[in-house]
Chains A and B, each alone.
Chain A
């Protein structure tokens, strides 16, 4: 593979925390040199970035691709195109398919489908319990051998604490990362909205934000007991943050994520029962949103994910309580995250620390940084260009985005995976 020289770039380096003009050279799929001033570009293909941003590609933990089971909602092919168009160079996929990805055989099917159809890296996760039923643990060892990078029952909480503690203990012996969904299942059962004035007015069944803290408290206690490696998929409330902070201070092996929707939207966006805004956990109060943004800034919350969840029109065109949860977000993750940059709440290195560097580190990947030797997984984007999102232009098979018709600012210009151009905006 020939060398590529990216010149005249605004380099966003989350590791160094810098945002500066420079150039970057790629050779054999890896970054070889990063510099400032006049580049040394003999016999390389030159990409003039025209002052736009070049950042490490996004590592998105928790993407739902609906294979096997519901390929009409999202296939590896459509998800791969959406990821490339969104600057996501690694999709870490969820096992909540039908059937559940809970055996090495189903995992291999997924890996094969992903390799055949997807231009970006796909790293599959597997279920922690069989059928995500919370009763028996899966073959964690075999699944790791087959390529599972983490274990999660997704939005189903393992209510039986004994089952969960054993699974955590066993996972620790394998060195496996367990991803939990902190939520007290009794309290959140049947909920469609966060308790508060909005849900009261709309007459929707609610869950108190306290359910998240209770779930997190339990999981933290189990980590103290088992010493497992744990990541909380989505922290969305202010009330959960002190517990997280304490757990980290006490040296537990814990990280936490949040979703782009909880960072950029709040409960009032649901308005007149707009089901594209129904996500799980539900959108929170503005105070919670601001606390979560601040936690991303401080680094208490490590990772921002898209929580990409395709749903077809039929699953969403229902009364709010009956409608399916989830939103697609592979392509809107970066433009939505840039809202926080334009509102001067988060700078670009901080955003890419949460979207690229931290998730890569948590999974033990070498990508997610702009340093010599790292894989050349890169996203080139214009942070300023304004546009109005039309959901029918999305590459996902499902177009259930809450950002439809909204003004966005910032767009991906090109995406590179291992030095290979996988997306270019015309």
Chain B
């Protein structure tokens, strides 16, 4: 099994067989992570640095755990707090870290394209943990693994992605990944948050959630950022919940075995009904978190194989 990429910057660069390779390897780590002894040593001796220029709890924890379980030396750097405040540019920060010879660099940044830029300047493998509104590849991969395990396949499914598509890197990466695997995608949300240009990617765009959810296999909800709720993009939280919040009544329009996903953190009562989110028969939100660690272990292992191959 070969994985011919130096970095994991986005789903855009991956082929369907790359995606399948990551998911297949991740399956083995799902099993490992369920054992009492969770250690593997495929990253032993390697240094992983998590650079988060934007606050994150779950993604950072997931990457940290993934690295540690594979035996890497993991260091976390909270970048909002340090050099950026002192006026250092992104490139200088990258060069400085590069001089410390990390092997894996996990980066999140508030600007689209920033992780690509950084990857050009360092010698190690870079994993994009989310750049602006551009891509969040490991999220799309963990969503894919969750779907594949729940539905038994990752093709010919009707998938609805609902909410703030415009500002969402999760939506973009999922749109690209699910498109590459030949699924039918519907984007559902108010037109202020779902620009019509998305139709050019082959997705159906709906502003009526009832219409959009009909007969879908998978419902992916997105988080609505607080700063979008103030009348700029939508009139109010309660009107949003009424029209676009997922509850059991709206979910009844989907297929009877449709699953509900959310990348977290959730706003209960804004984009999703709390009871529905906790319904273990429909919601796979906790599975997504579990798959996240496994997918990140797989991605890092594949990149590390290339590092060792080059050395």
The interface of chain A, by Cβ under 8 A from chain B, is 195-197, 199-204, 272-273, 314, 317-322
Given contacts A195-B195, A202-B113, A202-B134, 5 further A-B contacts (CB under 8 A): A200-B197, A204-B112, A273-B117, A317-B89, A319-B114
Interface string of B81-124 (1 = CB under 8 A from A): 00000000111000000000000000001011110110000000
Residues of chain B lying within 8 A (CB to CB) of residue A318: 89-91, 117
How many Å from the CB of B93 to the closest CB on chain A?
A: 12
Min CB gap A275→B, angstroms: 9
Whether B195 pairs with A272 at a CB distance below 8 angstroms is no
Cα A322 to Cα B111 in complex, Å, equals 8
Q: A203-B132, A203-B135 are in contact. Are A321 and B197 (CB under 8 A)?
A: no
B111's partner among A195, A272, A317, A319 (CB-CB below 8 A) is A319
Contact with A203, one of B89, B117, B133, B200 (Cβ below 8 angstroms): B133
Partner of A272, one of B116, B198, B201: B116
In the complex, are the beta carbons of B201 and A319 less than 8 A apart?
no
**A273: chain B residues within 8 A (beta carbon):** 112-113, 116-117
User: A203 and B172 in contact (CB under 8 A), knowing A319-B109, A319-B111?
Assistant: yes
CB–CB B133/A197 < 8 A: no
Which residues of chain B have C-beta atoms less than 8 A from A314's C-beta? 89
Which residues of A have CB within 8 Å of B7? none
Q: Which residue of B lies closest to A197 (CB)?
A: B200
Q: Which of A199, A272, A319 contacts B90 (CB 8 A)?
A: A319
Contact B114 A203 (CB under 8 A): no
CB nearest neighbor in A for B173: A203
- List, in ascending order, chain B residues with CB within 8 A of A322's CB: 111
Contacts of A317 in B (CB 8 A): 89, 91, 117
Residue in A closest to B166 when the chains form the complex, CB atoms: A200
Most chain A CB within 10 A, of B12, B117, B200, is at: B117
Chain A proximity mask over B116-155: 1 for CB below 8 Å, otherwise 0: 1100000000000001111100000000000000000000
A202 to B201, CA, bound (A): 13
Q: Give B contacts to A, CB under 8 Å.
A: 12, 89-91, 109, 111-114, 116-117, 131-135, 169, 172, 195, 197-198, 200-201
CB distance from B213 to the nearest CB of A (A): 23
Q: Chain A: which residue is nearest B171 at the CB level?
A: A203
Shortest C-beta distance, B52 to chain A (Å), equals 15
Closest approach, in angstroms, between the C-beta of B228 and any C-beta of chain A? 14
CB distance from A197 to the nearest CB of B (A): 4
Known A273-B113, A317-B91; contact A200-B134, beta-carbon cutoff 8 A: no
Contacts of A320 in B (CB 8 A): 111-113
Closest-CB distance, B116 to chain A (whole angstroms) = 6
Q: A54: shortest Cβ distance to chain B, in Å?
A: 44
A201 and B169 CA atoms in complex are apart in Å by 10
**A318→B89 CA distance, assembly (Å):** 8
Residues from chain A with Cβ under 8 Å of B89 in the complex:
314, 317-318
A200 engages B195 (CB within 8 Å): yes
In the assembled complex, the CB of A307 is this many whole angstroms from the nearest CB of chain B, namely: 23
Q: Which residues of A contact B117 (CB under 8 A)?
A: 273, 317-319
- Bound CA–CA A379/B132 (angstroms): 47
Residues of A within 8 A of B134 (CB): 202-203
Q: Which residue of A197, A200, A273 has the most chain B CB atoms within 10 A of its CB atom?
A: A200
Q: A288 to nearest B CB, angstroms? A: 15
Do residues B200 and A321 form an inter-chain contact, with CB atoms below 8 A? Answer: no
CB of B128 to closest CB in A, whole Å: 12
* Shortest CB distance A210–B (Å): 13
Q: Which residue of B lies closest to A200 (CB)?
A: B197
Question: Is the CB–CB distance between A319 and B91 below 8 Å?
Answer: no
CA distance A204 to B90 in the complex (A): 18
Given A273-B117, A314-B89, A195:B197 Cβ within 8 A:
yes
Neighbouring B residues of A202 by C-beta, 8 Å: 112-113, 134
Q: Which residues of chain A have C-beta atoms less than 8 A from B114's C-beta?
A: 319
Q: List the 3 closest A-B pairs by CB distance, nearest first.
A: A273-B113, A203-B133, A203-B134
Given A203-B132, A203-B133, A203-B172: A319 in contact with B113 (beta carbons within 8 A): yes
- State in angstroms the CA–CA spacing of A142 and B169 once bound together: 53
CA distance A320 to B131 in the complex (A): 12
What is the chain A residue whose CB lies nearest that of B134? A203
* Interfacial chain A residues near B198, Cβ < 8 Å: 200
Distance of B90 from chain A, by nearest CB (Å): 7
13 contacts between A and B (CB under 8 A): A200-B197, A200-B200, A200-B201, A202-B112, A202-B113, A203-B132, A203-B172, A204-B133, A272-B113, A273-B117, A318-B117, A319-B113, A321-B113
Contact B113 A197 (CB under 8 A): no
A197: chain B residues at CB < 8 Å are 197, 200-201
Asked whether, in the complex, the Cβ of B112 is within 8 Å of the Cβ of A321, the reply is: yes
Minimal Cβ-Cβ distance residue in A for B169: A203
Hey, which chain B residues are within 8 Å of A319, CB to CB?
90, 109, 111-114, 117, 132
Which residue on chain B has the smallest CB distance to residue A270?
B113
Q: Which residue of A lies closest to B176 (CB)?
A: A201
A180: min CB distance to chain B, Å: 28
Residue of A nearest to B167 (CB): A203
Q: Please give the distance in Å from A8's CB to the nearest CB on chain B.
A: 50
Cβ–Cβ < 8 Å partners of A203 in chain B: 112-113, 131-135, 169, 172
Given A273-B117, A320-B111, A320-B113, also A201-B172 (CB < 8 A): yes
In the assembled complex, how far is the CB of residue A281 from the closest CB belonging to chain B, in whole angstroms?
18
Please indicate the chain A residues that have their CB under 8 angstroms from the CB of B197 in the complex.
195-197, 199-200
Give CA–CA (A203, B173) in the complex, Å.
11
Q: How far is the CB of A188 from chain B (nearest CB, A)?
A: 16
Question: Which residues in A have their C-beta under 8 angstroms from that of B135?
Answer: 203
Cα–Cα, bound, A320→B114 (Å): 7
A321 CA to B117 CA in the complex, in Å?
Answer: 12
Query: Could you say which residues of chain A place their CB within 8 Å of the CB of B132?
Result: 203-204, 319, 321
B12, B112, B201, most chain A CB atoms within 10 A: B112
A227–B113 CA distance with the chains assembled, in angstroms:
46
Closest to B53 in A: A319
Contacts of B131 in A (CB 8 A): 203
The CA of A323 and the CA of B175, in the complex, are separated in Å by 28
The interface residues of chain B lying within 8 Å CB-to-CB of A195 are: 195, 197
Q: How far is the CB of B302 from chain A (nearest CB, A)?
A: 22
Cα A273 to Cα B135 in complex, Å, equals 13
